[in-house]
Amino acid sequence: MFTEKLLRPFFGSRGIEANTILAGNGSSGRKGGIINYTQVKGDLSRICREHPHEYVTTMIDYSPVIRLPLEYGGPGTIYDIVCSKEAAIEKDIGAPNLMMNFELHEFEAYLYCNPDAYVGFGRKAPDKIRRIVGRVSCPEMINTGHNTLPSRRLDEIISRYTHTKLFNTDKILEKTTLDQILSKCPHFAYWLERVCRTCGRPRLRS
């Protein structure tokens, strides 16, 4: 949904054709989920081999639950650390067409970039979103504890959000622009800049 609504038109305007592959197997056995690094490495290695003339990039939630058995370098900001983890995985897999990307810290962080998109979910909903984001430096820094993940916090604002995620996400994305996400999520902006620089034209904003 996110790719179709926001990313595909963005990439298309820069001469980049984007195709979505849903990889991984979650705990339920369905596509779309991370179990361990062996799975990640196997899936990405296979996809890179199957698309040797295309670049392969990822949208994987960066979560403390994911334990990857690689060394990532010294201390730094969360942005330094996640970039070093992405680079370590690229080196370990060794595919020249892989551009690894983690989402800080969950995809749902991007849904916090326009509080006004929540007007339809109640009079107080936009202010609740503003307060959550106001406690951190940007949406990508929203707490990643088990009960305070961005997606879990939306349950407090939208009744049963995690049980009706596709419907509610669609409503929020209808009123959220890519420019809003780019301006408030530095790692997301870094990733899109890298993709455009590698595959097309790097200028992100009009």
Query: pLDDT tens across 30-39, in order?
Result: 555 666 788 8
Tracing tokens 């639950």 back to the chain, one arrives at: 65
CA distances (Å), 80 to each of 62, 154, 165, in order? Answer: 13, 28, 31
**pLDDT the model gives residue 84:** 87
CA distances (Å), 7 to each of 137, 183, 192, 194, in order? Answer: 24, 15, 9, 14
Q: What's the N-to-C CA distance of the chain in angstroms?
A: 23
**Backbone phi, psi, residue 24, to 5°:** 85, 165
Q: H or E stretch including 46?
A: helix 37-50
**pLDDT the model gives residue 168:** 93
**pLDDT the model gives residue 160:** 82
For the whole prediction, is pTM greater than 0.85? Answer: yes
Structure-token pair, residue 29: 């056995």
> Low-confidence residues of the chain, pLDDT below 70?
24-35, 63-74, 144-147, 201-206
